[in-house]
Structure 1
């Protein structure tokens, strides 16, 4: 089962609103809408793991962190996001990190993809990051 983190993105919210309209007009059943959302969850996780290659560095002060049910949650204060040509400063950022899939690439080495959902609390941005850790 894929994570449902991306249902709260602009794309996910638009999909849910469209499905709700189709259900209200009785063009699709609620079961079909649920199947569409489950397919969306799988597709967005797969697309981010395979297609996103951008790199962003960020630095901030760790306010709180939590690990529960194999999900890390970090809250950072005074965060700076740096891309090649841009610098974005934000007061507060919440990062939710969930284990993705693991692949064996050698005898003792595996790559674990970790998906990050980043919500700018005091900004207008909603950013999704994908990081790759080698163990």
Structure 2
């Protein structure tokens, strides 16, 4: 299920809304929508794995953490992000991390 994490991004939500409109107008079938979403999941995970090379260091105070269903969730306070010469400070950050080795193992969820 973690491989579907990016469906809740702006891009993923826009895709789902567009597909919903096509279903409502009966231009495509539900089966095709499910196939499109599966292609999206694979493409976004592949692009992130192969194309993203930037590294960011961050530091903050750990407020809360959880590990349900092999998904880490961290909430940090007073976080400082550093990338090369750039520096950003924010009050609160939520980080969700999934194990990529198990990401595609269960495609029926």
TM-score by length of 1: 0.70
Unaligned runs of 5+ in 1: 103-135
For the aligned residue pairs, the C-alpha RMSD in angstroms reads 1.6
* Structure richer in helix, relative to its length: 2
Instruction: State how far apart, in whole Å, the 2-side matches of 1:90 and 1:50 are.
Output: 28
Instruction: State how far apart, in whole Å, the 1-side matches of 2:8 and 2:52 are.
Output: 19
> What count of residue pairs does the alignment treat as equivalent?
102
Instruction: State how far apart, in whole Å, the 2-side matches of 1:96 and 1:8 are.
Output: 12
Match of 2:105 in 1: none
* Conserved 8 A contact 1:2-1:42: no
Structure 1 segments (4+ residues) deviating >2 Å: none
* Conserved 8 A contact 1:2-1:45: no
Q: Which has the higher contact order (CA 8 A, sep 6+)?
A: 2
* Structure richer in strand, relative to its length: 1
